[in-house]
Amino acid sequence: MKKDQSRIIREQAPRSATREHSVPLYLTSSFIFDNAEQGRAIFADEEEGMIYSRYANPNTSEFINRVCALEDAESGLAFSSGMAAVFASFAAFVENGDHIVSSRAIFGSTHQLLTQLLPRWGVTTTYVNSAKISEWENAIQENTKIVFLESPSNPGLELYDLKKLGQLKKKYPNIIFSIDNCFATPYLQKPLQYGFDLSIHSATKYMDGQGRVLGGVITGNKSLMTKLMFFIRHTGPAMSPFNAWTLSKSLETLGLRMDRHCSNALAIAKALEKHPEIISIRYPFLPSHPQYKLAQKQMKAGGGIVTLEVKGGQERAFQFIDALKMILYTSNLGDSRTIATHPGSTTHSKLTDNEKTSLGISPGTIRLSVGLEDLEDILEDILQALEVTK
């Protein structure tokens, strides 16, 4: 099977003796060995087999295999949350004295990891706040171990050129090139194809897509995964079988859902582009986006996030959010329900005004995570909230 959708739907944990059609939930902490010799052989890696759910479980393996099919990856590992995955993607590879190059526009907790936690173990980070490849290359030092980024960025929706970064990787083969691919999902963007070593996801977002469970996943080549596996086995950020079962089921509809998230988001961006109460609107597949051409090259569609700036600064932004009737305010994203957030006072509130501006966040900035409701209803809610707060 070559097509994504067929591969993820048909990739399934081995059928048990019960001959079930849909995969059961394997709530078991460990697995029995038929005899002492088998126990020895499995522990010695001479025979394949499950040992303990901190290492692997049929539900987590099925989830991982499905993500690998989507990402065209050799191998993958699942984590209890997106942050557990992001942390492991650094901690499994860096040593005291190592250096990381990262895009400045990254998820808040990742920023805390890089600036507050990793320095405790002697690992430093240089931020790059530019899409220019020369600036990325300039930031690389003798001791750089990892180059890390998110694309599109949150909430500015700035893109990085994955093909050019893949070429930079060729020039620095010993550096791990790693991307948090959460906003795009592997349905819209496949970074490993450009030469990236690791693709990381918070599965909590679009992979679940219904705001139910936390999860994280990393895909990449086998040799890096072996090192990551060592880290997981002995530090324990394993995904629970229940979460894996839930997420694996969700992946069967990822493509369908993403198509709808993207078409709703594009339609909303287009409909609001000329609205007199809106100063600016950002969406990667809107021709007015400064990197529209790049977006079309490396993404199948523009994603489910639209970032806009309302007139009237923070006061108006707050009034707008409070005037929404259907759309709810929560810090999550990638849900079937449309969500509005005010990054300046929540997810990015710890930044200085200069830092906010450089990431495209102004007092009037609103991030919309466009859901799967009928387009007319989402649009109507936004338009009425703009109208009553004029």
Ligand X SMILES: *Cc1c(COP(=O)(O)O)cnc(C)c1O
Query: What is the end-to-end Cα distance of the chain in Å, rounded?
Result: 54
Distance CA 153, CA 106 (A): 7
User: Cβ closer to ligand X: 53 or 153?
Assistant: 153
User: Cβ closer to ligand X: 341 or 389?
Assistant: 341
Q: What DSSP element (H or E) covers 267?
A: helix 254-272
Q: Report the residue closest to ligand X, judged by CB.
A: 82
Q: How far is the CB of 200 from ligand X (least distance, A)?
A: 8
Find all residues with CB under 8 Å of 293, minimum gap 6, and list them. Answer: none
User: Cβ closer to ligand X: 62 or 150?
Assistant: 150
User: Cβ closer to ligand X: 81 or 250?
Assistant: 81
**β-strand 216-220 against 176-180: which pairing, if any?**
unpaired
Q: How far is the CB of 71 from ligand X (least distance, A)?
A: 16
Other CB atoms within 10 A of residue 188 CB? 25
User: Cβ closer to ligand X: 88 or 385?
Assistant: 88
Q: How far is the CB of 83 from ligand X (least distance, A)?
A: 4
Residues of this chain that interact with ligand X (CB under 6 A) are 81-83, 86, 107, 150, 154, 180, 182-183, 202, 204-205, 214, 216
Q: How far is the CB of 125 from ligand X (least distance, A)?
A: 16
**β-strand 305-310 against 328-329: which pairing, if any?**
unpaired
Find out whether 191 and 219 touch, Cβ atoms under 8 Å.
Answer: no
Q: How far is the CB of 282 from ligand X (least distance, A)?
A: 16
Find out whether 183 and 303 touch, Cβ atoms under 8 Å.
Answer: yes
User: Cβ closer to ligand X: 30 or 331?
Assistant: 331
Q: How far is the CB of 214 from ligand X (least distance, A)?
A: 5
The CA-atom distances, in angstroms, between 245 and each of 170, 221, 241, 251 are: 37, 24, 6, 10
Q: How far is the CB of 33 from ligand X (least distance, A)?
A: 34
User: Cβ closer to ligand X: 107 or 187?
Assistant: 107
Distance CA 242, CA 172 (A): 40
Where would I find the H helices in 92-240?
108-112, 133-139, 162-171, 185-188, 222-235
* DSSP letters for 326-386: SSEE-S--S-SS-EEE-GGGTTTTTS-HHHHHHTT--TTEEEEE--SS-HHHHHHHHHHHH
Q: How far is the CB of 280 from ligand X (least distance, A)?
A: 22
Find all residues with CB under 8 Å of 274, minimum gap 6, and list them. Answer: none
User: Cβ closer to ligand X: 216 or 364?
Assistant: 216
